Every structure is written in C-alpha cells, then in structure tokens.
Structure 1
C-alpha cells in the first residue's frame, strides 16, 4: 500500500503517466446522526475491488480533462467540478507548479453508483500528477490532499481493506485473508449521495428512530470474518444503513436483490449510497455461476474480487 513513493521516483522525467485506481465496496456501513456541519459520522469497512479507473496525465499549458469508458460517462463533468481536475490543481498548488496538465480518464466503475469511481479518479490524478511533475510528496502528504477532496479519496489511494471512521476518511488498514468474490450489478441511472443521506435522515425522523448514544463502529464480527477469509461469516454480518434510503428512492432494486439471493448469493446489498448492487459469492466458481444467472435474467453483471491495491503508476 505504501508504494506510491517508489512509483513516483521511477516515473520522473517522463512525458505521460498512467495510473490505475480501484473502485470500492462498503462491506459494512453504519451511519450516525447528522452533525452541525451537515455531515454524518460513519463507520465503514471498505474493500477495494478489481473494477478500475485509468487516468493518463500529460503536460499541458492549462488544466483540462477528457472522459470515456465502458460505462455511461454523460453525467461526468469535464470542468472544475471534476474531482480529478481538482486533485491535479491541489498538487500543483502544493508544489508551486505553474504549468498545467491534461487528464484522460477511462472509466469502468459505474458513475454515481456507490462504488467510489469519482474518488478513484481523484486518487489516480493525485498520484499521476505527483509522478509527472516529480513532486515525490509521499503517501502521507497525498493522503492529506486526498482528505480535502472527499471522504472516499484517501481509501482509493490506500486500497486493500480498511476501516474508515469520522466522515469515512480516518483510515486504519484491516487484515483480510485470501480473496472475496463479488458480482456487481450496476444500474442505468445513478443516485446522488447527498440525496440518499437526506432521505435517510427523513426516514429516521418519520420513524422516530433513536440511535444508540455512541459513535458508529464496525461490527467486530465483520473484522473477524475478514481476518479468517470467511465469506459465509462475512455475509451474516454485512450491513449498510444507507440501503433503506436507496431502496426507498429506487424500489425496483429490491427485485434485483431477491433475484441474486435466490440464485445463490451469500448476501446481496446496496453498494454505498447505491444504486449499484453487490452480491457476495462463496468462491470464484460460485460467482461465475451467479453472474451467468443474473445475465440471463437481463441484468448487467460483473464479476470482481478484492482486496486489490490502491492507486499506483502502471
């Protein structure tokens, strides 16, 4: 996970840098009450999975970005609202670089799908610009910049499996033995993360739900299942507090969850703020069978695995 510095030093003085960064799944996601600043305290178990974003960086007189990919990228901004472009500007400001950069992003992670694709773009851009400009900021400084861009960006840098607290950006690596296989089902239209959180707050207010007076925490059983490399045990304890809000906004997702679970998934869940769904399988063979069944039922189904490494130069 700490190989960014090595990658940077080997990439100095080249004209084009390629960085690959992974999407993520939230294996466990507990959401606390909304805070005075409008954000929620959360506790998350993140896992980086083998669905990647590729970012190429090359010198330019100004800052620009182009976006393509195997997913619908029509909703991805190509101006300063783009998180990767903001990441590039942050690195330039940090080192006093007065030139620009052109970023070419090729996306595989569903847009607005709850898998952190935009955050992966930003993490990749941080590493790419650091390498392109020979900045050698190091992982600690890159993580500091990442936290200024969004809660999921630091994890996209780190990769692997980690526990996130606070807004999700206070990270601690978690030991995960072996490999976990997932089948991911994207949705045609994304969900806005702020909208999902607002809807969760509204649902909680309507129900009169009173949360326990403690900070959110990841279930110890989840950590034990990860350490043991036991997908069956993990399936028993996966949880996502945002799922109720995502399913309320997109009720048709319930049917997809039921199809996947009937087809043999150990567990099905909304990924992050959704609407992408993630199904945990017992092993690679079971995941392949599940992918075939879901594809035959008319769903786009992708077989991915985790944990994988974070953003790094290719």
Structure 2
C-alpha cells in the first residue's frame, strides 16, 4: 500500500529585516505601546541617551521628518518591536539585515552596538547628512520598470552631459525599482531620460539625498564618529548593504557603514543572499511594511510579515506557531 504523501511544512528559517528612512509614521508603535510595556520603556531609554523626548517627537510631524530625529526615532521603534518579538519567538533568526539606516537597528539587535551608542550615532549621522547639503538643491526619485544597468547608464549620461549634474543610483530595491539620488539638476535630467524611454520616474519627498557622492563629506565625518564607538561580536550575523554580505570584524563593519553613506544600498542582492541561504520567513521589524512589499517583487520572493501593529504581530505569531 502506498504511503501517504509528506505534507509537513519546511522548518522555518527566519531572517529579521529592519526598515530605513522613509518608513516613519506619525505616532508609530502607539498601538503596540498599549499592549506591550517594552515599547514605552525602549523609547524612554532612547530619550535618555538622546537628551530629547523621542516619544513626543514621534507625535510631531515636523520634528519627526527632520533627519536628525527621524533616524533615532526609527531605530527606537525597531528595537522596541524587536524586544517584543523576543518574548514571542521560539526560534531565533539566522540572519539580520537592514535597509540603509535599518542596518544600524540590525547591528544594535545583534549586540554589535549598544542601544545608547546606536541612538546617539544615528542622531549624529542625520546631522552630518543634513550639514553636507546645506545650500544645495537636492532630490531623489524612484525609477520603475528599467533594468539596474540601464538606470546606471542614464545616471552616467546625465552626469556627463548636464552642466553641474551630480546623480547616481542610490537604492537597488527590487528588480525594476531603483532609486536615484543627487542634486536637482542631475535627478531631473534622469527623470527626463527615463520618461523618454516610456517608463516611470517618481520624485520622492526627502530632506537629504542619501547614498550618493554628495554624502562623501558626511561619510568622512561619520568614520571619525564610528572610530570612537566600541563594537562587539554579533550574536546573529548581519548582512550589510555595502556588499550584501556579512562583515565579521569591527573594522570591516565600520568601513561598510562609512561607505554605505555615499554608496548604493544593494537590497535586491541582500534579498537574493537570504534566498540563497534558504531563508523562508522574513520578519519586518519596525515602522510600516515597505520591506515586506519589496520582498514580493524580488527575483526569489520570500514571505514577509510586518509587525508594527497588533493585528500584524498577531498574524506573525500565528504563522510561527
């Protein structure tokens, strides 16, 4: 007699991913704070490290969207949710990764950077980024529907042919979605070129042009700040944006963080790396569901679950159980 087919689900291989700037939302984590004391406790700890009431800042849209506050607020939200998740998960993740700023949340969650140091560091990072472009008309835009190499070529053409243009690919987010960044002359030139191909380019509302040559002064200053901070061994490996692989030494991690500020985020490659490592569940740990949406568009999609609201967290817990 033939045996019954094996219908057992594959064992969960989990990675936790942390969102970056642009995922902030007014009042983020407020619903979770009513159920889990770790949320307010984490924000109180962050506020003490920062010397500012970070919870109050999250209720003020103007302040929240200032880069020097956006970054610590997002990191606090991610670590607060991670602390809640640790009480719910029976299996620890195999890997961490974070999109741009989210990489600091990942390194903090893995024990590489202390929470207080991480909060102060990303606050400084935000200030440095803002200072680097004072008096410069800057922009970012999402290019949809073109291959990565084609977007890179359009940026090169804009830089070569448009007077004073500075522009480059900033985020390789998923197949067919690349964000470009630079000064307004460069980004607008790329937008025009994209539209001439019949594809879409959407200007983004941002305060600083991340991951482009304009951030090189900030990158140099960030290296000096990083040199003063103690980095420990990671408890869970972190796949970093710079090369989409794990850096094991403190020197290598700091170098990747320094270069990340003016070099593109290789998110598609990071997602492919996780797929290659047989990860079958992604947990988006932080505000919003931007990364979960991107996960659906990768060459090898992985089921991803956001956790920023009670109903979403409950769904994840159901899946994990």
Using the size of structure 1 for normalisation, the TM-score is 0.30
- Normalized per residue, which structure has more helix? 2
Of structures 1 and 2, the one with the larger relative CO (CA 8 A, separation 6+) is 1
Using the size of structure 2 for normalisation, the TM-score is 0.30
